Each structure stands twice: as structure tokens, then as C-alpha cells.
Structure 1
Amino acid sequence: MIRIVEETGSTNADLAARLSGREYLPEGEWLVADRQTAGRGRLGRVWNDGAGNFMGSTVVRPGPGDPPASTLALMAGLAVHEAVAKFLPYSAQLWLKWPNDLLLDGAKVAGILLEMTGGVVIVGIGVNLVAAPEVPGRKIAALADYAPPPGRDVFAETLAAEFAVERQRWRTAGLAPLLRRWQSAAHPMGTRLTVLPPGEEALEGSYAGLSEDGNLLLGLADGTLRTIHAGDVLLASAPH
């Protein structure tokens, strides 16, 4: 079920408040806003957006037999990738960047924020369908830059369907198939990355895939591999 509101501060915050109030939110229920005035991105960034773009949140209820909840970031990224790809020409370069940013020709077109409340994971997703907000120091794109964009409601239905498929695969097929599919949708191996781990100086290296538990592997200049568990990842350039 997709519930639409005209304006709210944050769809993630709205779902968190309902969960904190002991309301039961089933998987498959979405809250979508025409406008968001207090949206948040990863690492505390402000991510507000206007009418025509997609801004929505849903929940996942991890169970004891599921893969680690942290890997939902990869699952959600893959779902968004699959949904957006349906509306793009084949020539467009659509890449995932760890853990779940979606890039179009190197510019961010979608982002995801996961938060946990009482054991329930809230998944907030923003996709630039018709317009790209200005973010200082970041390349931002919209689907409209590459193809006629779908209506917001059409995209919402498509995303909800893809998310349900990927959630079921994550839950029943396990982590290994998800990691393989995520890596096939990511930027090429060897892509130059700049990583800003929390509390550390920037690391320069090359994309070397994912670890068995879904963390980023960064190839350093001395030939060693560094496992990245958290941090901001910037795309420096594609390999030649």
C-alpha cells in the first residue's frame, strides 16, 4: 500500500514516530510525500526536495533467519537501481556506489537513508525524477536529463514492486547472490575512489569489490586491501 501526503518534514521521521507510538507498520507499506521540508541524507546531510521527484519511506522487519540488517543498504540500492533502469535508455551509465548511492554518468540521481527503530529498519529513498537539487561540491543529476521521466506515482508503484522482489530475494536466497548482483550493477572494478572514514583522514584507492559481509574493499597504493565499514565514498574517476 502506498500512502501519499502533500507535505511533511521527513517520511523517515514520520514512520519512526508511528513506530515509537507502537503502531504496527507491515512490510510493503510506503509513505510518499509531494514535498519534504526536513529531509535528511546520509551522514546528517540535508536533502529536501520538491514536487515531481520521488521521496518516500518503507519498513523492513528483519527476522532471526535473515542476513544481517546492515546488508539492507545493498538490497535497497539494488531495488532502486532496478526501478530507475526501467525508465532509462540503454546507453545511460547507471552505477551503484557503496553502500547505496545511485549514479547517472557519475552524478548522484538517488540516495537512501536507513534508520532502525525498535528492531524495525526504516528505508528512506529519494530519486530525482524531474529536477536535481543543488548540492555544493557534488554532481547531481535527474532522470529528466536523460529520458522523459515517469510520473511520480508510476515510479512509486514500480519501486514498490522492485523493492518487494529484492526484499524476498535477500530473505530467501541469502547474501552471496545479492553481493554478486550488486557488484554487477556497480561502477567498474578499479574505479578510483576517495573514502572519508569517520575520524580519519581521506583515503585514496581503487574499488576492489565487496567483502563477504558486504563491506567495501579499497585497494591502496601499496597493494594492500582496506575494508571500509563506514564512511563517505566519492567517485574520483573511472578506470581507463
Structure 2
Amino acid sequence: MRVLAETGSTNADLLAALAEGQRAMEGDWLLADRQVAGRGRQGRAWSDGAGNFMGSTVVSLGDGGPTAETLSFVAGLALYEAVLPFLPTPGTLTLKWPNDLLLEGAKLAGILLERSGETIVMGFGVNLAQAPELTDRPTIALSETGPAVPRDLFAERLAASLATELERWRSFGVELILRRWQAAAHPVGTPLTVSPPGEQEMRGYFAGLEPNGALRLRLADGTIRAIHAGDVMLIDGER
């Protein structure tokens, strides 16, 4: 693991290195003590915080393997499994489609996946010590439920967890990953609001996942809408 005292974005650093022809290997991580231009999904800013985890790694896509889009669920499961041992009450940790991690209904962590050729850059931001204030949703830090977890210890756990989940993804395919992801997510029937790109917000109920990982949203009239992209909020949890 390579640690920078400060950078704009660890994802952007790795993408720039790949664009310059540098080789990045699976298992190599780039971490930052401070990240001044961190990004979340759909271009949102992701605030850093002293003692939090901010880091990125790469995954190589191989011929005949599962599709790149399903790596979102691999990353989410890896993060879920890495955080779980540090919680006094594991049942309060849930995944939200596609890969946000919620603790007691508040956002604990987020993941950003970006592609460069046949390489996926995975960026993780985890509120270990402190949580940024967001205007559109509650946030939480791991330190609010117990002792703060040292960043480097968490980095080792996450790296090991991701390596395990990638091996499962390649060996057993997507079906097992999606089944395990759904078991760690909010229950079927959870009321949601969804804002697909370019469309108005819609309300419905979580109805599981499509075989390709799309979210199944059951609308008020009983029809099922497959959501491939968009903002998802828990009506009775995250707002």
C-alpha cells in the first residue's frame, strides 16, 4: 500500500497513471491522509476527514469472466464484510443499491467505480473517525458506535476482504454474489424513492435484483420497473 499525505483524488491518480501507460496490479492500493477533490457517484463531492479511510485499487477484467457492471456488488460486499467485525451490533449495517453502506440508516461509506480500458478503478470512502455533513442524507462515523478503527488496520481488512470476494466472483459467478448482496441489504418490501437519470422521482418498494444486478422496483400499481442507474433513497431510513 502506498500512502499520500494529500492528493486530489486517489481514483483520479490511478486513472491518470493508467492513461500514461503505467501498469497497476491487483492488490496494490493507493491511500490518502487527505483527499481535497474526492468524488462520489454522479459527480458528487466526497469530503475527507482526518482518520477516515480514503483509498483506491484496481481490478483487471479477464476474457469470459462476469461483466464489469457486477463489480459494484463485489465492492459493496467486500466493504460490508470488512466493516462488520468492528460493530457491536452487526444487524444495524446494511447495503443500499448499488453499493452504499448504511449504519443505523445513515451513510457510513460510499464506493466509486471507474473504467480505463480493461481495468476498473475502485475507490472507497469510509467514515471511520468522523462523518461529513450532507444536506440530502444523514451520515455516521464508525467511531459513533465504538472506538475509532485505525485507518491502516482497516485498510488491511478491506484489501483482504476484496481479494476474497474477487476470487468468489471469478470462481462462482454473479448469482452467488447477488444472493449474498441481497441478504446484506435492506429487506424486500422496503419503501424507496428512485430518481433515474433524466426522469422524475418515482416511489415504490424494493423487489430484489434482476439477474444482471438491476434494482427491481415494485410500483403502486404492482408493475415492476428495472432500474439500471439512479439515486435511491430509503423513505423510512435514509432521506
Please give the TM-score of this superposition, normalised by the length of structure 1: 0.97
Contact 2:93 2:103 survives alignment (8 Å)? yes
Q: CA deviation at 1:90?
A: 2.7
Aligned to 1:33: 32
1:193 aligned partner = 192
Mapped partners of 1:234, 1:136: distance in 2: 14
Q: Distance in 1 between matches of 2:149 and 2:90?
A: 18
The residue aligned with 1:177 is 176
Is the partner of 1:149 in helix, strand or coil? Answer: coil
Out of 185-194 and 90-99, give the one that drifted further.
90-99
Question: Matches of 1:108 and 1:50 in 2, distance apart?
Answer: 15
1:16 and 2:15 correspond: yes
Question: How many residues matched?
Answer: 237
Unmatched segments (≥5 aa) in structure 2: none
Per the alignment, residue 167 of structure 1 pairs with 166
Give the superposition deviation at 1:91. 5.1
Q: State the secondary structure of the residue aligned to 2:153.
A: helix
Q: Deviations over 1:74-107 (max 9, x none)?
A: 1100000000101001355100000000000110
1:96/1:187 contact within 8 Å kept: yes
The separation in 2 between residues aligned to 1:126 and 1:36, in whole angstroms, is 10
SS in 1 for 2:33: strand
Amino acid at match of 2:57: T
Per-residue Cα deviation, 1:176-225 (whole angstroms, up to 9, x for no partner): 10011000000111111100000000010011100011110001000011
Task: Tell whether the 8 Å contact from 1:92 to 1:146 is kept in structure 2 after alignment.
Answer: no
Tell me the SS of whatever aligns to 2:206: strand
Counterpart residue number, 1:134: 133
Q: Equivalent residue for 1:148?
A: 147
User: What is the TM-score when the length of structure 2 is the normalising length?
Assistant: 0.97
Instruction: Please report the RMSD computed on the Cα atoms of aligned residues, expressed in angstroms.
Output: 0.9
Q: Given residue 33 of structure 1, which amino acid in structure 2 is its aligned partner? A: A
Q: 1:149 to 1:120 in 2, by over 3 A?
A: same
**Structure 1 counterpart of 2:63:** 64
Report matched runs for 1:51-130 at 5 Å. 51-90=50-89, 92-130=91-129
Q: Tell me the distance in 2 between the aligned counterparts of 1:147 and 1:191.
A: 28
| 1:110-137 residue CA offsets vs partner (Å, 9 max, x unmatched) | 0000000122100000000010001112
- Paired with 1:193 and 1:66, the residues of 2 have a C-alpha distance of 32
1:140-198 per-position Cα deviation (integer Å, ceiling 9, x unaligned): 11101112121000000000000000011111110110011000000111111100000
The equivalent residue for 2:156 is: 157
Give structure 1 regions of 4+ aligned residues with deviation exceeding 4 angstroms: none
